[in-house]
Amino acid sequence: MSSASGDQPRRPAVFFDRDGVLNKDIGYLFESDRLIWIDGAREAVKAVNDTGYFAFVVTNQSGVARGLYEEAHIQELHGWMAQELGRIGAHIDAFEYCPFHPEGTVERYRKVSYRRKPSPGMINDLLARFPVDLEHSFLVGDQPTDLEAARAAGLKGYLFSGSNLELFLRPLLQRS
């Protein structure tokens, strides 16, 4: 793992929400055979990689707290997504998720978490682990809570409409 305190040069990053940005939001997704990529999503991640930015995923996964699936299912899905991205030479530098929810039915996951968006915990944890140039970084989300998390972490945030992610993202990469 990289350490932000090292001598590594800082690089900008794009923080992606997952459901509704990289893949269609079908509600409590954990099976790869149900994942439908958003148009241009894989190409958008490749564009981020090719520009030299870090690519991160930050996703609330309250389905764990609700007893609908396990953390292992999220990790398997993220591994599968990484393989699919690898087919076009793209990669995510880190997947972060929050399995907690204050109204969860699984007791060990029923709590308020600093990592659950709109709190900035997942973003801040990544900023502590990677040498990120915050000023030129941004988050792409599909919900106001995503943008609130970005603001709380000192990031610009952009609301994605759900059409083509690559077309949405390219002008933002040139602007940053």
pLDDT tens string 114-139: 999 999 999 999 999 999 999 999 99
Question: Which domains, ranges and CATH numbers included, belong to the chain?
Answer: 14-130+141-169 (3.40.50.1000)
17 is catalytic: yes
Q: Is there a contact between 81 and 59 (Cβ–Cβ < 8 Å)?
A: no
Q: What is the mean pLDDT of residues 65-70?
A: 97
Out of 17, 93, 142, 146, which one is annotated catalytic?
Answer: 17
Q: CA-CA distance, 129 to 29, in Å (whole number)?
A: 27
Percentage above 70 pLDDT, the chain: 95
6 confidence band (pLDDT: 50, 70, 90): low
175 confidence band (pLDDT: 50, 70, 90): confident
Out of 19, 93, 142, 146, which one is annotated catalytic?
Answer: 19
Mean pLDDT of the chain: 95
19 is catalytic: yes
The b/e string for 76-85 (b: 16+ C-beta within 10 A; e otherwise) is ebbeebeeeb
Determine the pLDDT at residue 123. 98
Q: What is the mean pLDDT of residues 5-25?
A: 91
The b/e string for 143-161 (b: 16+ C-beta within 10 A; e otherwise) is beebbbbbebbebbbbebe
Q: Is the pLDDT confidence value at 1 over 90?
A: no
Determine the pLDDT at residue 176. 64
CB atoms within 10 A of CB 108: 10
Which tens digits make up the pLDDT trace of 139-174? 999 999 999 999 999 999 999 987 999 999 999 998
Q: CA-CA distance, 86 to 42, in Å (whole number)?
A: 9
